[in-house]
Every structure is written in structure tokens, then in C-alpha cells.
């Protein structure tokens, strides 16, 4: 093997790499849209973060995270049984982690592992700050001794990049991952028999839970850390969470503090709305009776959440100074978006197009 590049496509969710990596691999190999649109409805967050005591690493920004309740690889029917290797086992079994990755690529495995971004210059944190983070390797060039990777570059653009074998080795050796942060080997067999269909009643169940800010169906444990999700907020309450987060940040800064903002939760909220809009359009193409007017009304939600996200991004990267009132518009955007989304999804659920065609969904059915 001199060069190798496994196929990789754009993920419909990019807010966290723990979503974008496995989805990019899956959609490169499988027509997974029926599965994707039948899931990825519910959101969750931890209101304990509103205490602003837990900060992003090497940052003044308190965490304000919002997650898709079934966003990670453990909920992916094609990849949830992927081989996992902890760092100690890997290090004791190979002379070179680069050679280990080369061998896996040769076997058609995508390799997701954990590194210190500081040691990979092309990444956003390269040479700037130490950040333990996941990295996906999807190809290599043995002649130039470079791996093909994907991540955020110096301009914060999420795109395909390259790093040298030596840079990767240093980055890999520089971190001690947490117990659940294993190296994962992703490969979807060419003869995979998994064919996940869109389940209208399940989608309706998830939409009801989302609207009522409840979780009666899903496992909220994103990483397999034995978290039961007790005390989490779900669904529409994620708006309430982000509104309170912004209010707390503004209050701290008005009181003489100087804290930043976590962009990620607002980005996930916006991506959730774009996915919901695309879900409605896909369902209409599949024969469900969803009017143009309803979709156009929902696209206003996408726009409002995009405005909120963009304002947060500008404050987060310093284009707008802290403590000058630039965040004050964000809660108003979110409140208007919440009101419109509630109206649209209630109308969507009042129609017969979701559950009249199928038996009631039973959560424990096989």
C-alpha cells in the first residue's frame, strides 16, 4: 500500500466530531437517510452547566452543551459493534502506532482515535493550545509519510487535511484518554444486511417527547458511561437552557467578569433545525402530506436559530467584544423560534400522515 483514501462524505451534523465522524463514514457507504430521518429528533442538555463552573479546556468559556440524544456511534446500527481498543492495549501490542493505523487502513478500516491537537500544526489548536480531542484518519500516503485526516483548520473551517506520521505519533503519545475514549475501527461490510427503514410511529413518538420536553424512549447515555440522564432537560427545554446560559454569561460580564461563550450548543440547535426542515422535505418526497406552507413556516425557525448562532459565533471568536450587549438579542431570537416551532410541530402531529399508516410503535418491540 503506497496511497490509500477511504471514501468520506459531508455529515448532516458537524457540531461535535463524535457525531460527524461516524455519520460521514456511514453516508459514504450506506443510503442511510431513512434511518437518519427516523431518529435524531430528540435533544438533551444538563442544567447543572448553568452554574458556569465547568469550563472548556484552556478557555474562559463555561460549557453550554446541547446534544442529540442518539447522536453518537453507539446508536448507529452499522457501526455500534465496531472494534474498540484502549490506548494501553494498543501501545503494548505494536511497535509503532502509525504502522498500526496503516495496517488498519489497508484492511478498509477508518480509524478514530484521541490525540493532543497541539502537535498537529494544521488543526485549529495546533501549536497554540493543548486539547485532547478525537481525530479521524481515513487515508495515507506512505511515500510522503502523511495521513489524511479531517478537522477544523486555522480558519475554523471543517475540512479534509493532512498530517505527518511523526506529528500523529507525538499527538497520540501526548494524551491519556478517558476510559470511554477508545480507538475505534469503523468498517461497514460491503455485504451488510442491515437495512433500517423509516418508522413513522417511532418518529411521531420522538416528536411528541421533543414537544413535551420528556424522554420516554431513548437512552441518554451518549458514551456508555452508565449515565441515566436523571435531571437532564430534553426537547423544547433546550431553548430554555440556552436562553438561561446567555443570561448568566451576560450577568457575569456585567458584574465585572470576563467569560466567553460556548459556541457548540447553539450550533447543535441550529443543525437540529436544519435537519428537521430537511426531514419534513424528505417525508413529503416519500409521500407524506406536508404542505409547502408548513415547511416555509418551519424554515423561519431555521433562520432565527441561525441568527442566534451567528451572534454567538461572532462573540465567541472576538469579532464582537464581550460585555457590550451584543448577546442581548439572542434570547429574543430563541423565544420566537420556540413559539413558531411549537406551532409547526403540533400541526405536524395533528395530521394523520404519520401514524395512520402503521401500527402504534411499541418501545420494547423487537
pLDDT digits (tens, 9 = 90+) for 327-357: 889 999 999 999 999 999 999 998 755 555 5
Cβ-based neighbour number of residue 128 at 10 Å: 13
pLDDT, residue 92, reads 81
pLDDT, residue 179, reads 85
Angle at which helix 97-106 crosses helix 165-173, to 10 degrees, equals 120
DSSP 118: G
Alpha helices in 255-351 (DSSP H): 264-285, 292-316, 329-350
Place of cell 486539547: 131
3-state secondary structure of 234: strand
pLDDT, residue 344, reads 97
pLDDT, residue 317, reads 65
* Spans of the chain below 50 pLDDT: 358-366
Alpha helices in 181-225 (DSSP H): 200-212
Residues in the chain: 366
pLDDT, residue 364, reads 40
Contact between residue 197 and residue 128 where contact means Cβ atoms under 8 Å apart: no
Burial (CB < 10 A; 0-12, 13-18, 19+), residue 119, is buried
Amino acid at each position: 500500500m503506497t496511497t490509500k483514501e477511504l471514501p468520506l462524505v459531508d455529515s448532516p451534523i458537524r457540531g461535535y466530531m463524535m457525531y460527524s465522524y461516524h455519520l460521514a463514514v456511514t453516508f459514504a457507504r450506506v443510503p442511510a437517510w431513512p434511518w437518519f430521518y427516523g431518529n435524531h429528533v430528540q435533544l438533551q442538555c444538563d442544567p447543572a452547566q448553568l452554574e458556569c463552573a465547568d469550563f472548556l479546556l484552556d478557555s474562559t468559556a463555561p460549557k453550554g452543551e446541547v446534544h442529540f440524544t442518539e447522536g453518537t456511534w453507539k446508536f448507529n446500527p452499522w457501526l455500534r459493534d465496531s472494534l474498540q481498543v484502549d490506548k494501553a492495549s494498543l501501545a503494548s501490542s505494536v511497535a509503532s502506532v502509525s504502522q498500526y493505523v496503516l495496517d488498519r487502513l489497508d484492511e478498509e478500516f477508518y480509524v478514530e482515535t484521541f490525540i493532543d491537537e497541539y502537535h498537529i500544526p494544521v488543526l485549529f489548536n495546533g501549536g497554540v493550545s493543548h486539547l485532547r480531542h478525537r481525530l479521524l484518519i481515513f487515508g495515507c500516503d506512505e511515500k510522503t509519510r502523511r495521513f489524511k485526516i479531517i478537522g477544523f483548520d486555522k480558519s475554523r473551517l471543517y475540512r479534509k487535511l493532512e498530517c505527518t506520521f511523526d506529528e500523529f505519533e507525538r499527538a497520540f503519545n501526548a494524551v491519556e484518554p478517558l476510559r470511554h475514549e477508545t480507538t475505534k475501527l469503523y468498517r461497514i461490510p460491503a455485504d451488510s444486511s442491515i437495512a433500517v427503514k423509516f418508522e413513522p410511529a417511532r418518529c411521531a413518538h420522538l416528536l411528541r417527547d421533543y414537544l413535551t420536553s420528556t424522554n420516554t424512549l431513548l437512552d441518554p447515555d451518549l458514551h456508555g458511561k452508565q449515565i441515566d440522564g436523571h435531571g437532564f432537560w430534553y426537547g423544547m427545554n433546550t431553548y430554555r437552557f440556552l436562553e438561561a446560559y446567555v443570561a448568566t454569561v451576560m450577568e457575569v460580564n456585567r458584574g465585572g467578569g470576563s467569560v466567553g461563550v460556548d459556541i457548540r450548543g447553539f450550533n447543535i440547535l441550529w443543525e437540529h433545525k436544519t435537519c428537521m426542515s430537511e426531514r419534513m422535505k424528505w417525508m413529503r418526497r416519500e409521500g407524506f402530506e406536508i404542505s409547502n406552507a408548513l415547511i416555509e413556516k418551519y424554515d423561519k425557525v431555521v433562520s432565527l436559530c441561525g441568527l442566534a448562532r451567528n451572534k454567538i459565533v461572532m462573540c465567541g471568536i472576538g469579532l464582537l467584544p464581550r460585555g457590550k450587549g451584543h448577546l442581548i438579542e439572542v434570547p429574543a431570537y430563541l423565544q420566537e423560534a420556540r413559539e413558531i416551532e411549537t406551532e409547526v410541530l403540533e400541526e405536524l402531529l395533528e395530521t394523520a400522515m404519520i401514524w395512520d399508516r402503521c401500527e402504534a410503535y411499541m418501545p420494547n418491540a423487537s
